[in-house]
Structure 1
Amino acid sequence: MTLSTTRYFIELAYDGTSFHGWQIQPNAVSVQELLDRALSTCFRTPVQTTGCGRTDTGVHATRFFAHFDLPESIGRAEQQVHAVNALLPYQIGVKRIFAVQADAHARFDATSRTYHYFIHTRKDPFRHQRSWLLRDELNLAAMNEAASRLFHHTDFSCFSKSNTQTFTNNCRISEAVFTALPDNGLQFTISADRFLRNMVRAIVGTLADVGRAKLSADAFDQIIESRNRSNAGQSVPACGLYLVNITYPYVNEWQQ
Structure 2
Amino acid sequence: MRYFIYLSYDGSAYHGWQIQPNAMSVQEKLNDCLRKLLRDANCSVTGAGRTDAGVHAHMMVAHFDSSSEIDGSWLTDKLNRILPQDIAVSRVVKVRDDAHARFDAKARTYHYRIYTKKNPFERQYATRITYPLDFDLMNEAAKYLLQVNDFTSFSKLHTDTKTNICRVVCAHWSKIDDDLWQFEITADRFLRNMVRAVVGTLIEVGRGRMTLQDFKSVIKKKDRCAAGDSMPGNALSLVDIKYDNTIFEEIE
Would the TM-score normalized by the shorter structure come out above 0.5? yes
Give the alignment of 1:180-219 within 5 angstroms: 180-219=175-214
Three-state SS of the structure 2 residue aligned to 1:71 is coil
Are positions 1:58 and 2:54 aligned together? yes
Counterpart residue identity of residue 50, structure 1: T
- The match for 1:142 is 137
Are positions 1:109 and 2:94 aligned together? no
Are positions 1:227 and 2:227 aligned together? no
Cα distance in structure 2, aligned partners of 1:254 and 1:10: 14
C-alpha deviation, 1:117, in angstroms? 0.3
> Is the 2:96–2:249 Cα contact (8 Å) retained in structure 1?
no
Cα distance in structure 2, aligned partners of 1:141 and 1:58: 29
- The match for 1:68 is 64
- The match for 1:118 is 113
Give the alignment of 1:1-256 within 5 angstroms: 6-46=1-41, 47-72=43-68, 74-250=69-245
Q: Deviations over 1:60-114 (max 9, x none)?
A: 0000100001111x54243221211111110100111111111110000001110
- The match for 1:3 is none
Q: Deviations over 1:193-226 (max 9, x none)?
A: 1111000000000000111011111110000000
Three-state SS of the structure 2 residue aligned to 1:141 is helix
RMSD: 1.4
Cα distance in structure 2, aligned partners of 1:159 and 1:10: 30
The TM-score normalised by the length of structure 1 is 0.94
C-alpha deviation, 1:123, in angstroms? 1.3
> Is the 1:38–1:88 Cα contact (8 Å) retained in structure 2?
yes
> Is the 1:78–1:99 Cα contact (8 Å) retained in structure 2?
no
Return 231-240 or 122-131, whichever deviates more: 122-131
Structure 1 unmatched ranges of 5 or more: 1-5
Counterpart residue identity of residue 250, structure 1: N
> Is the 2:95–2:249 Cα contact (8 Å) retained in structure 1?
no
Cα distance in structure 1, aligned partners of 2:171 and 2:74: 38
The TM-score normalised by the length of structure 2 is 0.96
Counterpart residue identity of residue 224, structure 2: R
Counterpart residue identity of residue 57, structure 1: A
Structure 2 unmatched ranges of 5 or more: none
- Percent of residue pairs identical: 47
Structure 1 residues 255, 207: closer, same or farther in 2, change over 3 A? farther
Counterpart residue identity of residue 201, structure 1: R
Structure 1 residues 75, 181: closer, same or farther in 2, change over 3 A? closer
C-alpha deviation, 1:232, in angstroms? 0.4
Cα distance in structure 1, aligned partners of 2:240 and 2:250: 13
